Chain A
Amino acid sequence: MNTEAPSPYANHDQVSLLLPWYANDSLDAAEREQVAAHLRVCLSCRQELAGQAALAKRLRHDPLLEISAKPSFERLMRRIDADAQAPVHRQSPPRGKTAWLADWIASLTDFPAKPRLAAVAAAMLLALALPLLLTATPPGGQPAYHTVADAGSLDRFTRDDLRVVFADQATKQDIDRLISAIQGKIVDGPSPAGVYTIRLAGGGAVEPALAQLRGSQSVVFAEPALPQAAKPGQGG
């Protein structure tokens, strides 16, 4: 059995690449020992290290310019404030699981800008298809469309339930933080359309919770799961 220790010179190329980090003293103990062992037998690496150490020393103490951060910070905060006050509808609509919602909204708002011919064609198509839509039953006898709260399934909701769609860019942490802030918990979802059912703990007030959710950029849709009873004193 060969019991000879490997030559410390054998790893010259590998150690050579580590010299800058030996010079800046950031290597871990094992790497540092490996480099030190090699340096004991390699004059060219010792020369190289001395040069690198000189360069590191110069760069470490190179002061460049001293400029106050305050004016720059104030400019950044003005930008952030202006950004926060910008109308939300100018932002690009989210894609992905909520793309259907964005497309639907866009189709409503963009309609006047479309050529008139397209509107006429759409009306004709609707006139032709309407009798079929009213009489035909999809396979299985179930409606082929879904609303966020399907009729017929409302009995699984309570008055404390909210139906919420989060923005694509919302992280799990964002969602958890929002739900925690309104003292709610997820009891269902996400549905294929990305809808969560959130139940407010202890009969929490629905309106403030909705206001908080709707005020967040992480939420694209928030509604009560059930129609809310009119408050006392309200008309209608």
Chain B
Amino acid sequence: MPNRSMRKESAPVADAASAEISDTALIARICAADPAAFETLYKRYYPKLFRFSLRMTRRLDQVEEIINDVMYVVWKKASSFQPETRASTWIFGIAYKKCLKSMAERAQAEHLELSDAEALIPGVHDRGLKDVELEDWVAVAFGHLPPDQRAVLELAYHHGLHYQEIAQIMDCPENTVKTRMFHARKKIKALYPDLLADTTAESLGNAL
């Protein structure tokens, strides 16, 4: 591990230029203890990690600690990054483990059975549910999924990742990712049958 006891002073990476520097190039500079490159990578990943950690843990008070734990590992272990891997896969892999650790420490890895979930959501079978703000709807839906299913949904649908990359991040077989997604879909569909049953001619035509 490189010695980072004496960080180099270097010029900040200008915002315009930083957009052109790849994550991998920034990590290479972090290997040489370059704080400007680290700051650029930190700011680039902060919103992504913020969102992912919040979705996973659903604890706003834990999010900053998790992000900084993740980026601390990035700073300390930059030299162990394998350039063949996508930087985002490496960083999200660290984040996933930190989220699980945080939840385990706080006994947050709750799992709600469907029958319990339905009882706790007022009007889940009401027609009026379509009027519910969709952001609330998604948040409630996520709250009733176990963390591994939340992670798959978030990584696939918000970050647009392929199941192979999600499997790398979660350190599990690809079929496990598909199965987790299948169960998440099934659970959400059971909770919100009307919202996901978009069977209009237009939407069905767009499916192809």
Contacts and interface: CB of A to CB of B under 8 A. Distances in A.
Contact of A51 (B4, B42, B161, B196): B196
Contacts of A81: 7
Interface string A20-43: 110111110000000010011001
Interface of A: 16-18, 20-21, 23-27, 36, 39-40, 43, 46-56, 58-60, 62, 64-67, 69, 72-73, 75-77, 79-81, 84-85, 167, 169-171, 173-174, 177, 215-218
B97 to A, nearest CB: 18
Contacts of A53: 203, 206-207
Given A59-B158, A174-B2, A51 B153 contact: no
21 contacts: A24-B157, A27-B162, A46-B207, A50-B200, A51-B197, A55-B138, A55-B157, A56-B157, A64-B51, A65-B60, A72-B68, A76-B71, A76-B72, A77-B35, A84-B6, A84-B7, A167-B1, A177-B31, A216-B2, A216-B3, A217-B5
Interface stretch (B85-93, B107-115, B119-127, B177-185): B177-185
B43 to A, nearest CB: 5
Closest 6 CB pairs of A and B: A51-B196, A69-B46, A59-B157, A26-B162, A50-B203, A84-B5
B96 interface: no
Contacts of B196: 51-52, 54-55
A24 B188 contact: no
B148 interface: no
Interface SS majority for chain B: helix
Interface residues of B, number: 57
Interface SS majority for chain A: helix
B157 A72 contact: no
B72 A80 contact: yes
Interface in B138-196: 138, 153-154, 156-158, 160-163, 178-179, 181-182, 185, 188-189, 195-196
Nearest to B153: A59
A60 B160 contact: yes
